[in-house]
Structure 1
């Protein structure tokens, strides 16, 4: 929807970082025809800007890994003047009791592969002196409430029983907690158990959120993060991974976040 110049100046800008095309699928479908959004390529990455009545949405399909997401976050903050950064996508479940399809509202992020010991404790980011970067508390609380409402009232519409059966999904649960990031896809049970022992607070693992958290921490900008569990870091269930991301995770992410944008704006 096109809006006035005055509305553009006052409407909040949400910058959304999504790693893979399959995770991005539902978002791209909702962009509409090419006349309804603007596409730009900056530093090799595509950014899609769409104006709504109450907010502006800038989407970036950033690619996999911390460098990709970190550079995307910088561009969203610097070039697009994003007010809030959103890190979204799938993640591998670590904590016992987490199942494929569960929804994770991330309240903090860490980089599990960052290690400058003995100069600083393991996981501590040297130039900022912290190991945990916290998502914005108020926005995270809002996101949690929206996710809870979605699972109660709208999940079965977005992911009908036939789709759940195809992917072997039970009814998803909502979790709130820490997501850890590193530049490695985890599919080894021994490595998984070592990470659980080393960072017991971690609920899930992915490859981008820690970098987004660091950029926002250094820039004093708020971020939130939403993840859908895609696997349990054990090498199982990967044959159907792309289809799951496209037809389940992407749709759930879009449904929750579109409500979040409208409510926060």
Structure 2
């Protein structure tokens, strides 16, 4: 059998060119350049009604689009800011927070929006500013070994608290520049300096009635500290609400904050969230109250954020 013919000088040159072209096609893309060179505070909300008040007060707005998401630069309370919607749920929040960090010079991340109340001492309209957040639906659905008894895999040693039926919460794996190896975390702390500013503006006056004259049964207040939890489920269940409070000592639960907190932690960007109670996550009398008090709660959260922006100095 004859050996294959040598490609010769011209042939080698062609093969080399083809190889370089193939490498270029599969090589990772260069990081995108900054879309805006000004260091800014990112202000995030999950969906449109939560951003109405903030957008109405934004000065010098300029819109940028990345991957179908609208990012608006401008000034609030005299500070350079970046406003965008994360989208509802954990995946959207993580993805679009990282997009913001990849394309803009973000100095701090502030989340403003509504949440379900978990702590029985809180009421609809109150604004919670937790000191830490957990992705509490990270977990395992354990094997049922006897009726009503569940056993996780014996090698799973990172469980967090008791279970709810077969579900048992566990820590989440995190990669970041903080260390070479991955780490597992249950909680993501908010930035201490941002939390201190939140404590200074805790007396910010809040609205008790909305434009349709739907009023809360008592005056709302700002509560700084405690814990918040997030997961990819809308909660309207009294038993689950009680479980979240007892297991995590949670004040509020939502569907985005912990995901944004994890991205902020991984990128070493200071983070804090302002969440106003629109409902009691199944703990109220009758039907869920979110659509009744959503606008009022979102407005109260935005009011606290604006007071925070005015008071905070690096």
Is TM-score (shorter-chain normalized) higher than 0.5? yes
Contact 1:93/1:233 (8 A) holds in 2: yes
| Partner residue of 1:221 out of 269, 283, 308 | 269
CA 1:38–1:230 in structure 2 vs 1: closer, same or farther (change >3 Å)?
A: same
Q: Distance in 1 between matches of 2:252 and 2:51?
A: 20
- Residue 223 of structure 1 and its aligned partner are, at CA, apart by 0.3
Is the alpha carbon distance of 1:235 and 1:63 closer, same or farther for their aligned partners in structure 2, counting shifts above 3 Å?
Answer: farther
> In the alignment, which residue of structure 1 is the partner of 2:86?
62
CA 1:177–1:170 in structure 2 vs 1: closer, same or farther (change >3 Å)?
A: same
Shift of the 80–95 alpha-carbon distance from structure 1 to 2, 3 Å rule, reads same
The aligned counterpart of 2:238 is: 189
Count how many residue pairs are aligned between Structure 1 and Structure 2.
245
Q: Higher helix proportion, which one?
A: 1
Which of 69, 72, 75 is 2:96 aligned to? 72
Q: Which residue of 2 aligns with 1:124?
A: 171
**Conserved 8 A contact 2:279-2:293:** no
RMSD: 2.5
Runs of 4 or more above 4 Å deviation: 160-165, 235-240
Taking structure 2 as the reference length, the TM-score comes to 0.71
User: What is the CA distance between 1:186 and its match in structure 2?
Assistant: 0.3
Residues 230, 256 of structure 2: 8 Å contact kept: yes
- Deviation, structure 1 residue 209: 0.7
Of stretches 113-122 and 81-90 in structure 1, the one that deviates more from structure 2 is: 113-122
Residue of 139, 149, 157 corresponding to 2:194 = 139
Alignment of 1:99-178 (within 5 A): 99-115=123-139, 118=156, 120-121=158-159, 122-127=169-174, 128-146=183-201, 148-151=202-205, 155=206, 159=207, 166-175=214-223, 176-178=225-227
* Superposed displacement of residue 145, structure 1: 1.6
RCO higher in structure (CA 8 A, sep ≥6): 1
More strand by share: 2
Deviations 1:136-161 (A, max 9, x none): 01111101221x2313xxx3xxx265
Note the C-alpha offset of 1:217: 1.0
Q: Tell me, which stretches of 5 or more residues in structure 2 are unaligned?
A: 1-35, 141-151, 160-168, 175-182
From the superposition, tell whether residues 61 and 108 of structure 1 become closer, same or farther in structure 2 (CA, over 3 Å).
Answer: same
Q: Which residue of 2 aligns with 1:232?
A: 280
Unmatched segments (≥5 aa) in structure 1: 1-7
2:302 aligned with 1:254, yes or no? yes
TM-score, structure 1 as length reference: 0.83
Partner in structure 2 of residue 4 of structure 1: none
Structure 1 residues 222-246: Cα deviation after superposition (integer angstroms, max 9, x where no partner): 1011110111111757676345322
Higher mean Cα deviation, 68-77 or 120-129? Answer: 120-129
